Amino acid sequence: MSRTLPDLSLYLVLGAADTGKRPFEEVVLAAIEGGVTMVQLRDKQATTRVLLEHALRLKALLEPRGVPLIVNDRIDVALAAGAAGVHLGQDDMPPALARRLVGADMLIGLSVSDRVEADTADPETVDYIGIGSVFPTGTKADAGTAIGPAFAAELRQLVDLPSVAIGGLNASNAGQLRGSGIEGLAVVSAICAAADPAQAARELRQTYFG
| Cα atoms in the 13 Å half-sphere on the side-chain side of 147 | 24
Among 60-68, 84-92, 104-112, 133-141, which window interacts with a second copy (CB under 8 A)? Answer: 84-92
Contact 174, 185 (CB under 8 A): yes
- By CB under 8 A, residue 21 contacts a second copy: no
Q: Does 73 bind a second copy (CB under 8 A)?
A: yes
**How many CB atoms are located within 10 Å of the residue 141 CB?**
7
Active-site residues: which are they?
42, 111, 140
Q: How many other β-carbons are positioned within 10 Å of the β-carbon of residue 96?
A: 13
Q: CA-CA distance, 117 to 119, in Å (whole number)?
A: 5
Residue of 20, 94, 123, 181 interacting with a second copy (CB under 8 A): 94
Q: Select from 20, 23, 26, 48 the one that contacts a second copy (CB under 8 A).
A: 48
- Establish whether 44 is an annotated binding residue: yes
The reply to whether 45 sits near a second copy by the rule CB under 8 A is no
State the DSSP string of 193-206: T-SSHHHHHHHHHH
Q: How far apart are CA 102 and CA 169, in angstroms?
A: 30
- Write the single-letter amino acid at 202: R
Residue 60 engages a second copy in binding (rule: CB under 8 A): no
Q: Minimum distance from CB of 34 to a second copy (Å)? A: 32
Cβ at position 142, least distance to a second copy in Å: 9
Q: Which has the closest alpha carbon to 14: 80, 67, 65, 64?
A: 67
Using CB under 8 A, pick the residue from 22, 65, 100, 115 that binds a second copy: 100
Pairing state of beta strands 163-166 and 184-187?
Answer: parallel
Binder of a second copy out of 42, 54, 59, 74 (CB under 8 A): 74
Q: Does residue 82 interact with a second copy by CB under 8 A? A: no
What's the Cα-to-Cα distance from 23 to each of 14, 19, 57, rounded to whole Å? 12, 7, 11
Under the binding rule (CB under 8 A), the answer on residue 120 touching a second copy is no
Residue 74 contacts residue 90 (beta carbons within 8 Å): no
Site membership for a second copy, residue 90 (CB under 8 A):
yes
Contact between 92 and a second copy by CB under 8 A: the answer reads: yes
Residue 139 assigned to a binding site: yes
Q: Which is nearer to a second copy, 109 or 184 (CB)?
A: 109
**Residues engaged in binding a second copy (CB under 8 A):** 47-50, 52, 73-77, 79-80, 90-94, 97-98, 100-101
